[in-house]
Structure formats: structure tokens, C-alpha cells
Amino acid sequence: MANIGYIQVVRHCNHFCGFCSNPTTPYVHTFDTMKVLVDDFVERGYFGIILTGGEPTLHPELPVICRYARDQGLHVRMITNGWRLADPAFAREMAAAGLQHVHISVYSHRPEVEERLRGVAKTLDKAFAAVDNASAVGIAVNINCVINKLNCDHLHETIDYWIAHHPAVRHFVWNNLDPSMGRAEVNQGQFLHRLADFEWSLAMACQRLAATGRTFRVEKVPLCYMTDFAWASTETRKIVKGEERIVHFLDDKQTVRQTTWGHLYAEACRVCRLQPICGGLFDRGNGYDPTELTPVFVDLEPIVRQIIEDPADPSYSLRDFATWHANFEGRKAEARVDAEREKASQYREAEKKLTIGHVTSESLRLFEKKRRVEGMAAARTGVALERDEIVRQALQAGEAGDAASET
Ligand code: SF4
């Protein structure tokens, strides 16, 4: 299994996306606090890590932690808005540090839409320069795109643009907006769409990529909204292959280890043939409407086969459907036992506890300064800042950190 872990290396950013689900916190990482996390992924036998944020390129020790992770044998990726990679010297530095793969996020090829979503001007030019610079130094480039209310009607046109102007980009990832956290939670009215709003455009976009030999993945979209391309659902692929994911959040959530991929299932899902391999509706934040789900009456075997027989993913070993099916049923039974263990509070306590980053008086001071700057950006763009609760939590974390450092 090719498990990949996530490390949020910073939580501040040089853009101001109105639907950011991981906005600024006062937690900070040093090389030493990140090294512990890399070592843990190595110990768990993970294939690789993804350095993310906030905007990870704003961490001054990013090349050092990248090099360290590579030296431990991990595959190293990064998710970025591309602003700093627009500088060819920085792209060369990251390639020399061992970065193998970068996911550059671009929401729309229309400059006015991109600018509105980013809260900052001229980001599109920088992202295109980042694509070219990363490719030029041998870093593989994927494009990440958050599906939202302002781009959901022209996802396919943006793909046409990539194919025509940046033919070297071969892989694309869509993430359906997470309405549960950060600014996304409080700006749902501006940025959250209905599922039906993107269905046609996403299908067109997938068809164009498939027809031109490109690859793609789609995250947090129920299979009834991408039935023809169900094999490309990241949740479905993880359910089928039994993968887990660990995210080290640089906030109060700290470490989240995810081993199950189902979200909300509606009444309609009870009769749906794809339910066993579908992640359902990403319900967090109550942003999406369960009545939009409709059961699908197709056989799941061809979808599973497409995933387990994928020649581009040799990491999964059970490549025969009957063997997979027996293993899948066994995993489901195990998951039920694990759920009962968790209820009895024994299982979670056995999990290793890691401390993710720390809060210092200096990081608190910078956090408060950043909040003031973001307050001005919010007023300028008409976007609401995330709930104040984060400030209260930050102050509590700071007090706890101060107390710990005094002992
Ligand atoms: S009806 Fe439910 S189980 Fe079926 S594809 Fe839609 S979300 Fe998935």
C-alpha cells in the first residue's frame, strides 16, 4: 500500500483565499519538530510525505526538511500556490533539496475568477511561471483545483486551457470544497455550490483528460456525481485498497489518522450498488444537501478492477478481483471490531502521541499581527474572517506552552 502522510509546515500564507480551510494559527514548526514527524512516517513504512500548509514555501527551513525526508528514503511532494516557485532560483533550490513532485493549485484559467478566489492580484501569471520552472528542473507537476461556486461551471474550459498552453502537465486533482473549517465555514454563501452545479462541467473535464491520455483524481465528490469516472475518486481508491492517511495539522487538531473514508450516507444510499466503495457525501459543515444524492445501479466490479489492475500503481498487490473481494470483506469485519475497541477507549490510547509544532510568545505576536493584516484583506475583499474561536484556542495554547516551558 502506498500511504502518504501530510505535514503542515506553516499555517500562514501570502494569498487570502475566501474558502481557505487551514488559515493562520500561532503554531510554528522548527526543523527538529518536523524531523520527529518524518521519522515517524519512516517507522510506519510510509511511501512518502506531502509538505503543505498554509503556504509551505514560506518556511525558511523547507529545503532542509525536504532533503532530510529524501535522505530517509521518502518520496517528497509539496502542495503550493506556486508564488515562490515562480522564481527559477527557488525552483532550482527545491529540486536540489530532493523535491520530486509538486501540486500547484490553480482554480480557474480566467484571471478575474482566480483573483477573486485568491484575494490577491496576478497570482495566475505566477502559477504558470511556477509550472514552467518546476518542470524545467525535473520536478513533476500536478495541478490541484478546489471546486467552488465561482469555477464550477467552467472546469472543462480550464482543462482546455491547460491542454492548449501547458501540454506537459499530465495529472490533475479536483477537491470538492470542504465547508467545515476556517474561512470556508463562514463564507459558504459566497463560495459553496450545489453538487448539480459542477456535475456536467466535471464530466466534460474528465472526458477531455481521458481522451488526451492524461490522468486525474477527484476528492470529496460522491460517486453518483462522477459515475463514469468512479475509479478516479480518491476516497474510492482508498476504500478499495485499504489505505490510511495521517495529517499532522499545525493547530489544535494536531494529528488525525484516517482509516475509514465514508462520510454521510443518505436514505438513497441504502439501495445504491456503489455504496460499499463510495465515500458518500462530504457532510462536514452541513454545507451540502443529502437530497442531491441518487442511487446508482451499476456493477462495482469493473470499477474495482480498474483500480486494482492499474499498471501505473504497482504498489497494490491483490490484483485479482476474487482475492480482493475476500480481503475487502475481511477488512470490513476488522473495521467493525476496531470501532468497538474504539468505543471501549482502548484502541485510541494505544496510538502513538506526537506533539505537532509549538506556540511561543514570538509566534503569538506574529499571529496577532497577521490576523490584523488579514482583517484588512477581509474588509477589502468582502470575505469574512474565520471564527474568533481560533484566537481563543491560540491564546490557550500559548498559555499552556508558556507553562510547559517554565517546568
Ligand atoms: S447514492 Fe450514496 S452511495 Fe450511491 S453513489 Fe451517491 S453518495 Fe454514493
**206-226 per-position pLDDT tens digit:** 999 999 999 999 999 999 999
Closest atom of ligand 1 relative to the 266 alpha carbon: 2
CA of 231 to the centre of ligand 1 (A): 14
pLDDT band at 388 (very low <50, low <70, confident <90, very high): confident
CA gap 111, 317 in Å, rounded: 44
Query: How many other CB atoms sit within 10 Å of the CB of residue 300?
Result: 19
- 341-364: average pLDDT: 71
248 within 8 A of 8, measured Cβ to Cβ? yes
Q: What are phi and psi of 181, to 5 degrees?
A: -135, 165
List, as own/partner pairs, every contact residues 339-347 make where C-beta atoms lie below 8 angstroms and the sequence separation is at least 24, other chains included.
none
CA gap 245, 259 in Å, rounded: 7
- 141-156: average pLDDT: 98
Chain mean pLDDT for the chain: 91
CA of 196 to the centre of ligand 1 (A): 14
CA of 229 to the centre of ligand 1 (A): 14
Closest atom of ligand 1 relative to the 294 alpha carbon: 1
CA of 259 to the centre of ligand 1 (A): 20
The predicted structure's pLDDT at residue 343? 55
H or E segment and range at residue 79: strand 75-80
pLDDT over 90 percentage in the chain: 82
Residue with cell 454521510: 264
Which ranges in 344-388 belong to alpha helices (H)?
347-350, 361-381
Q: Which of 228, 271, 275, 283 to mutate to test the pocket of ligand 1 (most atoms within 8 A of CB)?
A: 275
pLDDT in tens, 284-315: 768 999 999 999 999 999 999 999 999 988 88
Q: Pocket residues for ligand 1 (CB within 6 Å)?
A: 222-224, 265, 268-269, 272, 274-275, 278, 280-281, 293-296
| Cβ neighbours for 253, distance < 8 A, ≥ 6 positions apart | none
The predicted structure's pLDDT at residue 346? 42
- 107-124: average pLDDT: 96
The identity of residue 122, as a single letter, is K
273 within 8 A of 230, measured Cβ to Cβ? no
| Ligand 1, atom 3: closest residue by C-alpha | 275
pLDDT tops 80 at residue 95: yes
CA of 98 to the centre of ligand 1 (A): 40
The predicted structure's pLDDT at residue 260? 84
The predicted structure's pLDDT at residue 165? 96
- In the chain the domains, ranked by start, together with CATH numbers, are 4-345 (3.20.20.70)
CA gap 406, 133 in Å, rounded: 46
The predicted structure's pLDDT at residue 347? 44
The predicted structure's pLDDT at residue 399? 53
In terms of DSSP bridges, do strands 255-258 and 48-52 run parallel, antiparallel, or are they unpaired?
Answer: unpaired
The predicted structure's pLDDT at residue 401? 45
The predicted structure's pLDDT at residue 394? 56
pLDDT band at 344 (very low <50, low <70, confident <90, very high): low
- 8-17: average pLDDT: 96
